Chain A
């Protein structure tokens, strides 16, 4: 099993519902977030291109955060989730420094926190909070090894990219372009 997410940059309208859903679902402390939305404008007037992206931890297959962690607090669990165990984390910040996507933040209680791909929901057979609230249905979550999953289908039919491929992290979030 290899969980992944595909996000349609052509359908996303930047409403930030995914951000609020995550904050609510995961009790993210006020002022912080595990996912966020960026708007990228490319080109020079009048030939401008606009891309809206909902971003979060990429659950990288080759993640520098797990590699750098001195205590094993950052680790992989079955299905390719990258997780942090709060009572093992010493808050050294090595993982925050090493993540090319700035996906982690220091929780006010001291440990490091980030997107879990809603592991607790996925184990119950549900989808992630962000995916389930998206009003434009622009995000797909599922198992890459299962050809009939929504992600596999989305990736089969569309062109896609990952963020910062040059960092060699092998991200598991794919942006449909």
Chain B
């Protein structure tokens, strides 16, 4: 048996702080990010396939949860940073090697894009909705006309959003059980399945009706 002790550890209480550097915020974000990726992926996919009419929950209603999930997830991520005021340093560079860098950039684009996506459907959800400013009305029209390109962008971004967290963890040489190439696809699949599940919950009534 190998026994290892710190001889110099007695007056150094923080000698081994590494295992608790990440806290509850990270799993919360991993879940919310995966969920958002899953919902957006299928919303975009069925828009591209032209099934908006048949699948309103998937394409329209479920997506209203995405900005909420993403914003909560981003708040969680921010809370877990130790040097918070410097978070903008993420956006001074793009590091291809670092999955966290892709993640930061993808979130930067996908969050506003998901909001715009919802905005194009808000009048269908709340018929009395009023944008108040003319410019917003114009913007809405423009966005509605461009749903297809938006869907393509969302499709690609949501795959990156769903997979980068897994690749991030698998890049850690220090954790043998994470250090495997299966982790990225695993995270993507689990995000997609969570998204689908939520969309299915939204269609419960329709499904029950069909069964009868």
Encoded as 1 (CB less than 8 Å from any A CB) or 0, chain B from 54 to 93 comes to 0000000000000000000000000011111011011011
A97 in complex: contacting residue of B14, B15, B18, B99, CB < 8 Å: B18
Q: Are B89 and A88 in contact (CB under 8 A)?
A: yes
Q: Are A64 and B7 in contact (CB under 8 A)?
A: no
Asked, given contacts A93-B22, A93-B80, A110-B82, whether A71 binds B173 with beta carbons under 8 Å apart, the answer is: no
Q: Are A105 and B89 in contact (CB under 8 A)?
A: no
B7 in complex: contacting residue of A39, A71, A86, A112, CB < 8 Å: A39
Q: Are A36 and B22 in contact (CB under 8 A)?
A: no
A64 to B98, CA, bound (A): 10
Flag whether A70 is at the interface (Cβ < 8 A). yes
A32 in complex: contacting residue of B12, B168, B172, CB < 8 Å: B12
B5-62 CB contacts (< 8 Å) to partner A: 5-9, 11-18, 21-22
A110 to B95, CA, bound (A): 22
B6 in complex: contacting residue of A37, A43, A64, A87, CB < 8 Å: A37
Flag whether A80 is at the interface (Cβ < 8 A). no
Across-interface contacts of B21 in A (CB, < 8 A)? 93, 96-97, 106
Q: Are B83 and A90 in contact (CB under 8 A)?
A: yes
Flag whether B198 is at the interface (Cβ < 8 A). no
Q: How far is the CB of B5 from chain A (nearest CB, A)?
A: 5
Flag whether A168 is at the interface (Cβ < 8 A). yes
Asked, given contacts A32-B14, A39-B5, whether A71 binds B89 with beta carbons under 8 Å apart, the answer is: yes
Q: How far is the CB of A76 from chain B (nearest CB, A)?
A: 12
Q: Are B92 and A71 in contact (CB under 8 A)?
A: yes
Flag whether A135 is at the interface (Cβ < 8 A). no
Asked, given contacts A16-B8, A38-B7, A39-B5, whether A70 binds B98 with beta carbons under 8 Å apart, the answer is: yes
Asked, given contacts A93-B80, A106-B82, A110-B82, whether A98 binds B6 with beta carbons under 8 Å apart, the answer is: no
Across-interface contacts of A86 in B (CB, < 8 A)? 83
Asked, given contacts A33-B15, A106-B21, whether A89 binds B86 with beta carbons under 8 Å apart, the answer is: yes
A68-111 CB contacts (< 8 Å) to partner B: 68-73, 86-94, 96-102, 104-106, 109-111
Interface residues of A, Cβ cutoff 8 Å to B: 14, 16, 19, 31-33, 36-44, 52, 64, 67-73, 86-94, 96-102, 104-106, 109-112, 167-169
Beyond contacts A67-B97, A72-B95: 10 other A-B pairs, Cβ-Cβ < 8 A, are: A31-B11, A32-B15, A64-B171, A68-B171, A70-B101, A71-B90, A90-B83, A94-B168, A96-B21, A104-B18
> Which 4 A-B pairs have CB atoms at the shortest separation, nearest pair first?
A91-B82, A91-B83, A110-B83, A70-B100
